[in-house]
Homo-oligomer: A and B are copies of this chain.
Amino acid sequence: MTGILGFVGLGLGKGDITLKGLDFLRKCSIIYFDTYTSLSSEINQAYLEELTGKTVKPVNREFLETEKRKEIYQRCLKGENVAIACIGNPFFATTHVALRIEAEKLGIKTEVFNSFSILDGILSATGLEPYKLGKIVTIVYPEPEYGYFPTTPYKVLRENLARGLHTIFLLDLKLEKKLAMTIPEAIELLTSMEKQFNEGVITEATIGIGLARVGTSTQVVKAGKLRKLEKMDFGEPPHTLIIPGTLDPIEREALKILGNIEDEAITEWLQRLKEKPKNT
């Protein structure tokens, strides 16, 4: 009989693991800790070892996406229970879906121990309505030396705003290069996309919500005009940026109380959203 390959979400910070997830980790011979698809200021190898009393092996992209990963399946096929533990929700990353499919095809039993993703953290931190979320998009680091400057975030924002929806920008992580994009960097990139397309999506009136270390004890939530957020220091990564669409009265109230934004900035932005953008 094969062992179980469990995908265990760790949530966003210390103590966010579920009872069910912890119980499974304690039954494993080894825990593979994914250190590349996500980042938390509170969760690391030492924390996981202390929590579980088990051997924790940090694994990066090179391990999970090359032949090296087969070590995981071999253990399961020998009858061991093994966990792949990751920050946030285990299936937020395509890599984990691919690993699960591959394991299932090898006849290995897989189980999922859910935890919450940055999406839930954002809803809790901001009071924004889940029904108002538009397509999510990642702002990635351009690589000018290769002529690489992806502008999908601008297009997604424009489409979401046309439907009155909020846009969550996840910010690029290149953890192997010790890089994690900050909110000011993200705003600068969006501003340069506006210069390129000139469709009036990012203007003086555009407001945003800057979030740092969502779901941890040092979480920061600051809402305001982008040009104001651009000058702020949000501290350590990870950072997230949201540009809201239309706001219901409760969302508006929540942004004022939780994000400390002036009412006039909201009024100006909602007014701007009613005007037809250029070229559309």
Give me the interface of A with B, judged by CB distance under 8 Å: 7, 9, 11-12, 14-20, 22-23, 89-92, 94, 97-98, 100-101, 104-105, 112, 114-117, 119-121, 123-125, 127, 129-138, 159, 163, 165, 215, 248, 250-251, 253-254, 257
Contact = CB atoms under 8 A, between A and B. Distances in A.
A116 B89 CA distance: 8
Contacts of A250: 94, 97-98, 101
B116 A120 contact: yes
9 contacts: A9-B120, A11-B18, A16-B19, A89-B120, A91-B120, A97-B254, A101-B257, A114-B215, A133-B133
Contacts of A105: 257
A87 to B, nearest CB: 13
Contacts of A127: 91, 97, 100-101
A173 to B, nearest CB: 15
Nearest to A105: B257
Contacts of A119: 117, 119-120, 130
A131 B137 contact: yes
Given A16-B114, A114-B215, A131-B136, 12 more contacts: A9-B116, A14-B20, A15-B18, A15-B23, A16-B19, A91-B127, A92-B123, A94-B250, A112-B125, A114-B120, A116-B117, A133-B133
Given A90-B124, A123-B89, A101 B18 contact: no
A137 B165 CA distance: 13
Given A89-B123, A124-B89, A257-B104, A114 B11 contact: yes
A105 B134 CA distance: 30
Nearest to A138: B131
Contact of A123 (B22, B117, B133, B163): B117
B129 A94 contact: yes
Contacts of A116: 9, 89, 114-117, 120
A124 B114 contact: yes
A117 B92 CA distance: 13
A97 B257 CA distance: 11
A65 B119 CA distance: 26
Nearest to A95: B250
Contacts of A135: 131-134, 163, 165
Nearest to A118: B130
